[in-house]
């Protein structure tokens, strides 16, 4: 089991507290620890100071767009392998393409079901674990 191997930290970046709570509730079965950020700048700060195994990232945020966060994160050598799941209401092809080009690992649109998010996150974490073994 994933959780037994090491304690994973998931960074949830969304300016909506409701969404952050929903993400946490959906991913609770993973038995991981959650770190929350409500803005892009805060996300980068948390990333810089903590050990994060997965980032769930919203695109539309007040201070810094999710794409800018992606750009910053991917430009940094240290975070190039970090799986980033973009979770957004933007369901148009242009947004999806822009996010994937900017370095998103996966793209999921809101509204999401807890099962879909859980499946996606589990897959991303397992791939990382295999990659780092």
Integer Cα distance of 46 and 114 in angstroms: 24
> Is 84 within 8 Å of 104 (Cβ atoms)?
yes
Q: CB of residue 110 vs another protein: minimum separation in angstroms?
A: 5
Structure tokens at 63: 């201070």
Integer Cα distance of 28 and 124 in angstroms: 15
Integer Cα distance of 129 and 24 in angstroms: 21
Interface with another protein, residue 114, by CB under 8 A: yes
Burial (CB < 10 A; 0-12, 13-18, 19+), residue 131, is exposed
Kindly identify the residues of this chain, within the stretch 32-51, that bind another protein according to CB under 8 A. Answer: 38-39, 42
Q: CB of residue 28 vs another protein: minimum separation in angstroms?
A: 11
Q: Which stretch binds another protein (CB under 8 A): 3-11, 43-51, 77-85, 107-115?
A: 107-115
Kindly identify the residues of this chain, within the stretch 77-106, that bind another protein according to CB under 8 A. Answer: 89, 93-95, 97-98, 101-102
Structure tokens at 113: 């079901």
Kindly identify the residues of this chain, within the stretch 2-31, that bind another protein according to CB under 8 A. Answer: 15-19, 21-22, 25-26
User: For binding to another protein (CB under 8 A), which residues are involved?
Assistant: 15-19, 21-22, 25-26, 38-39, 42, 60, 62, 64-65, 67-68, 71, 89, 93-95, 97-98, 101-102, 110-114
């Amino acid at each position: 089991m994933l959780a037994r191997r090491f304690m994973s930290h998931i960074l949830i970046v969304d300016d909506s507290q409701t969404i952050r709570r929903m993400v946490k509730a959906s991913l609770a079965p993973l038995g991981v620890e959650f770190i929350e950020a409500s803005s892009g700048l805060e996300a980068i700060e948390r990333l810089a100071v903590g050990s994060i195994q997965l980032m769930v990232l919203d695109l539309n945020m007040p201070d810094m767009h999710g794409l800018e966060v992606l750009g910053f994160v991917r430009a940094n050598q240290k975070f190039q392998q970090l799986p980033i799941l973009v979770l957004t209401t933007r369901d148009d092809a242009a947004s999806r393409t822009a996010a994937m080009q900017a370095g998103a690992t996966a793209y999921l649109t809101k509204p999401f079901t807890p099962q879909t998010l859980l499946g996606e996150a589990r897959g991303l974490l397992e791939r990382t674990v295999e990659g780092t073994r």
